Amino acid sequence: MKTEAVARRYRNLDTWPDSEILDAFLERQLAALASVKPALASIEAAAVGAAERLRHSNGRLIYVGAGTSGRLAVLDSVELLPTFGWPAERLLYLLAGGEKALVRSAEAAEDETADAQRQIAEAKVGPSDVFIGVAASGTTPFTIAAAKAARDRGAFTVGLANNPGTPLLEAAEVGVLLDTGPEVIAGSTRMAAGTAQKVALNLFSSLLMLRLGRVYSNLMVGVQATNAKLVRRAAQIVAEISGKSLDEAGQALERADGDSRVAVLLLRGYGLDEAREILKATGGNLREVIG
């Protein structure tokens, strides 16, 4: 398994000067970034397939993993609400060892296939849902069992792994290979493999949210204005799209309860209820409303 191999390039690492160690770490991080490029077609297929399932349904995004991979999956998922306004009730993450594994190591839990199947069943995963499983090795029993169970129940399944030909890539409908190779510190996949996973997840979810209409032009119109900084950002977004002043944008946002898309339509002459209804009819896609 490539991610577990001991690279000769980094033999006797502990005897190297600090500057050379850091150079080696950075070298592998840059290589990890480069490993995402060959995976772009698979990432696109994953995002397009996910958008097809989610666009006209109440399906959920379900992120699954164990250890570092699971934590990175959760990190991507929890940022979708404030950044894109993805509804919390349409988001789920399942971790080997449960939620406590976010802050405490639970390495043995990754072997619990029965727990994975139980969590998928209890979540009532179905054909409207999208499953994203992440495992550096591609052989994590928990994540593979969850992927198989989700696919059996009709969900659209995506698997991200850092080793080719591994069970997770084969179990998922779309397999995304991030071929990062050996780590500087042998087997420490929180490093290069983790970096590639984080980038790939960012690309996947950002393209998905864009295709679901939660980005207009290159502006995150689904942003949740929950603090002063985000209120200002939302006002700037509304002003940019509408061509109105920041004051007018801010006033429209207040009327729209902080929804940038509704605020834009208010400034274009729509009534409040009318704006909400037309956005509901288009799945929240502002581009479909104003072109």
Q: 131 in the Ramachandran plot: left (φ > 0), alpha (ψ -120 to 50) or beta?
A: beta
Residue 28: other Cβ atoms inside 10 A: 22
Two structure tokens written together for 282: 């288009």
Decide if 110 is catalytic: yes
**Closest Cα partner for 217 from 290, 135, 121?**
290
* Cβ(81)–Cβ(238) below 8 Å: no
Looking at 79, 170, 240, 248, which residue is catalytic? 79
The type of residue at 229 is K
Inter-CA distances, 106 with 102, 126, 179, 213, Å: 9, 28, 26, 37
- The H or E element containing residue 162 is none
Decide if 254 is catalytic: no
Task: Return the sign of the alpha-carbon dihedral for residues 248, 215, 231, 277.
Answer: positive
The separation between CA 138 and the C-alpha centre of its own chain, rounded to angstroms, equals 18
- The H or E element containing residue 191 is none
Just list the catalytic residues.
79, 110
